[in-house]
Every structure is written in C-alpha cells, then in structure tokens.
Amino acid sequence: MANTAVIGLQWGDEAKGKIVDILTENHDIVVRYQGGANAGHTVVMGGQTFKLSLIPSGIFRSGVQCVIANGVVVHPKTLLVEIEALQARGVRVGNNLTVSSRAHVILPWHVEEDRILNDCPTGEAIGTTLRGIGPCYRDKIGRSHAVRVGDFYESGWRERIIAVAEAKRRMLEPLGVSADNPALDAEAICREYSGYADRLRPFVADTTQFLLDAVDSGKRILFEGAQGALLDIDHGTFPYVTGSNSSGVGISAGSGVPGRHIHKVLGVVKAYCTRVGGGPFPTEQDNDVGQLIRDRGNEYGTVTRRPRRCGWFDAVAARYTARLSGVDALAVMLLDVLSALPEIRICTAYELDGERTERFPDHVERLRRVKPIYESLPGWQREIREARRLTDLPTNARKYLDRLAEVVGRPVEIVSVGPDREQTMFAV
C-alpha cells in the first residue's frame, strides 16, 4: 500500500518538486504523467539549485527509476538539454530514466501554433507558456497529425513528418505563417528529429507495461503531478487551463496505472495563492500585499520568468480540488512568505450574484463575478525559516495552519518554510 501521488491544488507552482524529492526516499519509481516542458520544478539540495521541466524530480536519488509516461508531451531537444545539464553537474541519467514510446512529441509547428493562437484570442489571452503544449495535445486528440515517440523507431516516420508538415503549411499559411518558416521545413525537421531520436533511443520503452509490472511486483510508485488542479483541462477554470488533466483524475490515463493502485494522494498548496497567465483569480491582491508576497516568495515563473499574480489563500478552490483529486492530506508550502504580514486572510466562501456559496463555479464567467468572503487571522510577524518542528512555529502560524486544514477539509501533514530539504516539518 505505498503508491503515492503529489498533486498541486491551485494554479501550479506549489513547489511540488521539493515534496516529490523528499518522498522519493520511500519510493522505487517516480512518474511524470501529464504536461510537458511548461512545468518548471525547482529542487534545492545542499545549497545547489536544479531546475527540471520534463525529468521527474526523483532523478537525484540513486536506485530510483524515473518515468516520463504516455500522458506527457515531450519536446525532445528540451529533454536532451536537461539530461546533459544534469550529467554535466554529476547527476546520473542513464538507465534510471525511461520515456514512453506512447508519449506525444512536440514539433516546431506546435510552438508556432501556440504563438499564433495566443496572439489572436477571442477574449482575454490564455497566456500560455508558448511551449506548444496545447497544440500538441490538440493533435493527439485529433490523431491524424500526431507524432509519438515510438513512431521514430518504425519505418515510414519521415514520410509521415513530411505529410504532416505539408498539412500544417496549408493550415498555418492563412494565419500568416510563411511557407519558408523553419517551423515548416520538413527536411530540416526530419534531420533534426532523427538526431534526437537516436540520442533518446536508449531511454525509450513501453512504460505502461513497465508500470503495470511494477504494480504486480509491489514496487512503490510516486506519481508527480505537473501544474495544478485548477488548470485541469476538464475540471479547471476553462479555457484558462493547460492542455492536460492536471488534477488527480489525470493519473491513470497519463500513466496506465488504474486508480485502485493509487493508495495515497498528497495535495500541495501554497500558504497563499498565485497564478501565471490569464483567467479569473478571485483572491488576487493587485496591491502592496500582492507585491510583498511576490517579493518574499520570489514569485516569478521558473519557465518564463513572468511575475506571478499573487493573492490570499482560496479555500473554496482548494476544497474543490482536494475532493476532485482524492486528496488524503495537505502539504502547505512557503508558509514563511507570510511572516511579514500583520493580518492574513483566508477566503472561505464566495458571494455570487448576491448569494453566498461555498461551491467553486463551473463556468469561468461566474467565477469572474464572485466576490471572496474572507476570514481574517492575526499574523505572527516573526521569521520562521529556522523552524524544524511544528512546535517551533509561533502560535499564530499554527492557528493559521489549523484553520487551513479545517476549511479545506483535509489534515496538514507537511509544512515547508524554505526551499531546502531541512526546512520541512512533518505532522506525522
């Protein structure tokens, strides 16, 4: 009974990488199962900072097998750069990394499509990471223009790339992409991707079968979610979401492991909220409080360096995503960021069209109309980065955590007060 999932319950960037890194100690396999190089996971170890976007954070532990499963969209160049950067810093990346032959591949036209469709939206821009994520998933669902990792090891892949490039040219030319755009140069793309395919070959395998075998033999699997549940393509703040099921519901489809084998789900939240890109954010603080959180939390995107929008903890949203993801317990991250504030607020309900509700709206326009109803708690106004046990925390910080647990409806199991592994406290 030891398979665990780590899911972000907000809009991503909840510092899941740190939690995954800590939990890998008790797991044999770490699996990334959705998203792609839009994710940015930071792991700080012994004063060294590592940034990962595709490789699971388990890569730093010897004896742990890392899997990039079928649900991930792989940008081969980013993956190879990441592998080589880790190797250059002495981190072993070899047969401890496996990439699914079923994973879909991001091609240059996907990045071009992401740019164009982000530029000319029908309303507020989604503000994607411009990594080609949505267009690649669109082709996966559309099927006829999709390319998977395993395709490169079968005959006929060049003809397929050439045919898809031609179809893309016909689609993209009317949108202003010229025929000589390098993103449509089929010959050059075949040369480039054939090189990537050769270099990635040792890593490629049927990860679905591998994981099912691992389940049968009682191996302990850790599922590493990317982004956050509010960005889930089906259950998030659509259309201001990512292209995959980033809540807990995505684990099985993205890995091939049935839900009955996921024994524990840890929901990761920040002690406040952030969001990158467009879309409603009810508790956003576009003021001094937001700026203080941004400065103290270094709230700038790992992938794009965009300043993150910051605000109070939204318990209506977290309660919804905790239920949606089957969360057993919470990890509360970046609690130290709030130490400077004399007063801290939690949104416990919304007012929607004059009525109080504790339900998260199912339409983005209704979410835009909600007014947060806040509860105010006194701050602790003392640095807490040195705390190593929950009893080291000031009373008001513990009261804040207790109230978060109460309003979300899940116990707090882990509390983090800084980026390093040592700055982590466990309730159990």
List residues with catalytic annotation.
13, 41
Nearest residue to 40 (alpha-carbon basis) of 65, 17, 58: 17
Q: Are strands 309-311 and 412-416 parallel, antiparallel or unpaired?
A: unpaired
For residue 306, the one-letter residue type is R
Q: Which stretch binds ligand IMP (CB under 6 A): 34-42, 199-207, 398-406, 412-420?
A: 34-42
Task: Enumerate residues 132-191 that contact ligand IMP by CB under 6 A.
Answer: 133-134
Task: Enumerate residues 203-232 that contact ligand IMP by CB under 6 A.
Answer: 226-227, 231
Per CB under 6 A, 12 contacts ligand IMP? yes
Among 13, 112, 299, 413, binds ligand IMP (CB under 6 A): 13
Distance between CA atoms of residues 264 and 7, nearest Å: 11
* 8 A C-beta contact, residue 268 and residue 14: yes
Q: Which is nearer to ligand IMP, 9 or 231 (CB)?
A: 231
Q: Which stretch binds ligand IMP (CB under 6 A): 8-16, 76-84, 339-347, 410-418?
A: 8-16
Closest approach of Cβ 1 to ligand IMP, in Å?
Answer: 30
Per CB under 6 A, 101 contacts ligand IMP? no
Distance between CA atoms of residues 74 and 365, nearest Å: 33
Radius of gyration for the alpha carbons in the chain, expressed in angstroms and rounded? 22
- Cα first-last separation, the chain: 17
Q: Which is nearer to ligand IMP, 12 or 361 (CB)?
A: 12
Closest approach of Cβ 34 to ligand IMP, in Å?
Answer: 10
Closest approach of Cβ 307 to ligand IMP, in Å?
Answer: 12
Distance between CA atoms of residues 256 and 408, nearest Å: 29
Distance between CA atoms of residues 73 and 79, nearest Å: 11
* 8 A C-beta contact, residue 414 and residue 16: no
Q: Where are the beta strands (DSSP E) in 353-411?
A: 355-357, 371-378
Closest approach of Cβ 38 to ligand IMP, in Å?
Answer: 4
Per CB under 6 A, 243 contacts ligand IMP? yes
Q: Which stretch binds ligand IMP (CB under 6 A): 33-41, 103-111, 186-194, 379-387?
A: 33-41
Per CB under 6 A, 242 contacts ligand IMP? yes
- φ, ψ at 116 (rounded to 5°): -65, -45
Site string for ligand IMP, 35-64 (x = CB under 6 A): ---xxx------------------------
Distance between CA atoms of residues 267 and 347, nearest Å: 18
Per CB under 6 A, 276 contacts ligand IMP? yes
Eight-class DSSP state of 135: H
- Interface ranges with ligand IMP (CB under 6 A): 11-13, 38-40, 126-129, 131, 133-134, 226-227, 231, 240, 242-243, 276-277
